[in-house]
Structure 1
Amino acid sequence: MNPQCARCGKIVYPTEKVNCLDKYWHKSCFHCEICRMTLNMKTYKGYEKKPYCNAHYPKQQFTIVADTPENLRLKQQSELQSQAKYKEDFEKNRGRGFSIVTDTPELQRLKRTQEQISNVCAD
């Protein structure tokens, strides 16, 4: 006995049968759920036993983690450790943030130009 098409419910004969996603389909009925583009065994992606094209394949979405007491404790602990590390790094590198710049001829020229501009504006 010939099976029924998963899309249209009509009988699927062997010459037009596509066996995919644990169902039988007519070749023309095996299309994307969204855009209705005809698919084949190489171009389909199955999701919840339904065929989709690559463009309309449903994206997996992540769930939100609940704020359980244990998760809140872990979050607070990691923030405390982070603050301690930043404070330790700050204390260790205190006073090292400055670098000495040598007076190159270009910097000397810029300094003179800025002084001249300042003098003109002050008059």
Structure 2
Amino acid sequence: MNPLCARCGKIVYPTEKVNCLDKNWHKGCFHCEVCKMTLNMKNYKGYEKKPYCSAHYPKQSFTIVTDTPENRRLKQQRELQSQVKYKKDFEESKGRGFSTVCDTPELQRLRKSQEQISNVCRSVTYADQ
């Protein structure tokens, strides 16, 4: 007795039989689950006993590793070194204005010279009037 096709359920005769993934298929029924591209024994990829082309083969995802103390430490270290945190802090401090800087001897000298220049300019303008 001839087997049934895994896709369409009809009888598969030996001339059109593809035996793959522990099932029997018609040559035309052996196609990708997603894009329906006809496959053969050289270009198929099986996943959960279903044929896929290489473009639509389901990607394996990894499971989450448990939250160990070492993983928590690494995550904290990554966050400290992250540019995202620096950018966030910068954005938050943008509108706050400038902070006052202590008077250094250089700043005191510059302030004195600016006052002297300013006083000279005032005295010149008063003398012209």
Distance 2:9 2:39 in 1: 18
Q: What letter corresponds to residue 59 of structure 2 in structure 1?
A: K
- What is the CA deviation profile of residues 1-58 of structure 1, one whole-angstrom value per residue up to 9, with x for unaligned ones? 1000000000000000000000000000000000000000001000000000011001
Distance 1:74 1:28 in 2: 53
Against the structure 1 CA distance between its residues 78 and 62, is the aligned structure 2 distance closer, same or farther, given a 3 Å change threshold? closer
1:64 Cα deviation from its structure 2 partner: 1.3
Q: Which runs of 5+ in 2 are unaligned?
A: 78-129
Superposition map of 1:1-123 within 5 A:
1-67=1-67, 71=68, 73-75=69-71
Displacement of 1:65: 1.6
Q: CA separation in 2, counterparts of 1:35 and 1:77?
A: 45
Letter in 1 for 2:62: F
> Quick one: which amino acid aligns to residue 53 of structure 2?
C
- Residue 75 of structure 1 and its aligned partner are, at CA, apart by 3.3
**1:85-112 deviations in Å (ceiling 9; x for gaps):** xxxxxxxxxxxxxxxxxxxxxxxxxxxx
Q: Spell out structure 1 runs of 4+ moving beyond 4 A.
A: 76-79
Q: Structure 1 pair 23/66, CA: closer, same or farther in 2 (3 Å)?
A: same
Residues 1:75 and 1:59: Cα distance change in structure 2 (over 3 Å): closer
| Residues 65 and 12 of structure 1, relative CA distance in 2, 3 Å threshold | same
Give the length in aligned residue pairs: 77
